[in-house]
Amino acid sequence: MNIYPSIFDYMLKQLDDNIKYLNTSKAFAAFIMILMNIGSRYVNVKFSDTQEVYLRHVFSKNVLVFAISWLGSRDIYLAIIITVMFTLIVDVFLNDESDYSIVPENTTIKYTKQLDLDGDGKLSKDEIEKAKDILKRATKLENKSKHLNALQKFKVSDTYMFPN
């Protein structure tokens, strides 16, 4: 029986000690805040389409949840647990396309039923095109309304007479 700790045990102990130090470090907290600010505003990195999709939909969400969890708890282990739990809940249990979804069936098909004009339970190309047409018309009306409001503001400012 070996009474001396193994190299692996020693490395794990060192890693744990370093993480515990980072958990209480105000400098590390400030560094993370700076990284978040720079990363969200100034870093412009060109990615391939595949990389961009991965970063936008998978990686960035988990990193953001971890960063928020760590900033709130100041505990890396707890932040990892919260990130894993959040990912499981959102991506597995509340995802209506997952096999393990707990979302009631009647709430997942609500929007499909509104678009399904013939009631056959499937969206045809014609129904999708009609929905797109409605969105286009709504966008045009919104733009027209914004244009008229801007024009009205211009007329009001144009009719104001400055004293001589």
pLDDT tens, residue by residue, 108-164: 665 666 666 666 667 678 877 887 888 888 888 888 888 787 777 766 555 555 555
Q: What is the pLDDT of residue 164?
A: 52
Residue 15 has pLDDT above 90, yes or no: yes
Token pair 């678009």 is found at 115
> What does the DSSP 8-state code read for residue 110?
H
Q: What is the pLDDT of residue 80?
A: 92
Model pTM?
Answer: 0.43
Average pLDDT over residues 49-61: 77
> How far is Cα 26 from Cα 70, in angstroms, rounded to an integer?
12
Residue 49 has pLDDT above 80, yes or no: yes
> How far is Cα 70 from Cα 32, in angstroms, rounded to an integer?
9
Count the alpha carbons within 13 Å of 49 in the hemisphere toward its beta carbon.
0
> How far is Cα 21 from Cα 3, in angstroms, rounded to an integer?
27
Dihedral of the CA atoms 129, 132, 133, 135 (nearest 10)?
160
Q: What is the pLDDT of residue 13?
A: 93
Average pLDDT over residues 53-62: 76
Count the alpha carbons within 13 Å of 102 in the hemisphere toward its beta carbon.
7
Q: What is the pLDDT of residue 75?
A: 86
Q: What is the pLDDT of residue 112?
A: 61
Token pair 């190299």 is found at 7
Average pLDDT over residues 17-32: 86
> How far is Cα 98 from Cα 93, in angstroms, rounded to an integer?
7
Residue at 82: amino acid letter: I
pLDDT tens, residue by residue, 64-115: 888 888 888 878 999 899 999 998 998 899 888 888 888 887 766 656 666 6
Q: Cβ(87)–Cβ(62) under 8 Å? A: yes
Average pLDDT over residues 31-54: 76
> How far is Cα 93 from Cα 102, in angstroms, rounded to an integer?
5
Q: Cβ(65)–Cβ(83) under 8 Å? A: yes
